């Protein structure tokens, strides 16, 4: 059996943040850090109506599709259930089978496309491009 070993020099390169000059964790108040945090909070759940991976929580607290603006609610108390269609929404792909799925009601009223995380990300990206 032949085991090889190398004594060569290895290199790694770290790129510091252009704003806070930190290699890994961003400094408090860093715009790039805020963008990373907001991007991690965005959801892209498959819409039962149009099949696009575009459902996220809107400003009103309902699930809404960014593409077709169909809204969903998991609360039967907020809507007249007789006027809505019951469907399944997979909200967590990493959850064990059956635990990441919610039974929701598809609402008749279309959403307004008001996604707070999306708007804040857009504002921060514009801020960076203007600097």
29 within a domain of the structure (yes/no): no
Q: Residue 115: its pLDDT value, please?
A: 92
For residue 105, give every residue at least 6 positions away whose Cβ sits within 8 Å of its Cβ, in sequence order, or none: 72, 73, 74, 76, 79, 81, 84, 85, 86, 87
37 within a domain of the structure (yes/no): no
Number of domains in the chain: 1
Q: What is the extent of the structural domain holding 60?
A: 45-130
Q: Is the pTM of this model over 0.85?
A: no
124 near 29, Cβ under 8 Å? no
- Tens digit of pLDDT for each residue in 4-31? 666 777 777 778 988 899 888 899 989 9
Q: Residue 75: its pLDDT value, please?
A: 67
108 within a domain of the structure (yes/no): yes
């Amino acid at each position: 059996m032949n085991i090889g070993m190398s004594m060569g020099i290895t290199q790694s390169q770290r790129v510091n943040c252009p704003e806070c000059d930190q290699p890994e964790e961003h400094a408090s108040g860093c715009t790039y850090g805020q963008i990373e945090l907001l991007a991690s909070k965005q959801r892209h759940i498959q819409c039962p109506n149009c099949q696009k991976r575009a459902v996220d929580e809107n400003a009103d607290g309902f699930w809404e599709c960014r593409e077709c603006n169909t809204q969903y609610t998991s609360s039967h108390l907020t809507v007249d259930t007789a006027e809505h269609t019951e469907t399944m929404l997979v909200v967590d792909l990493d959850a064990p089978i059956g635990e990441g799925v919610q039974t929701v009601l598809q609402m008749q009223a279309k959403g307004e496309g008001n996604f707070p995380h999306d708007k804040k990300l857009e504002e921060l990206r514009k801020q960076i491009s203007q600097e």
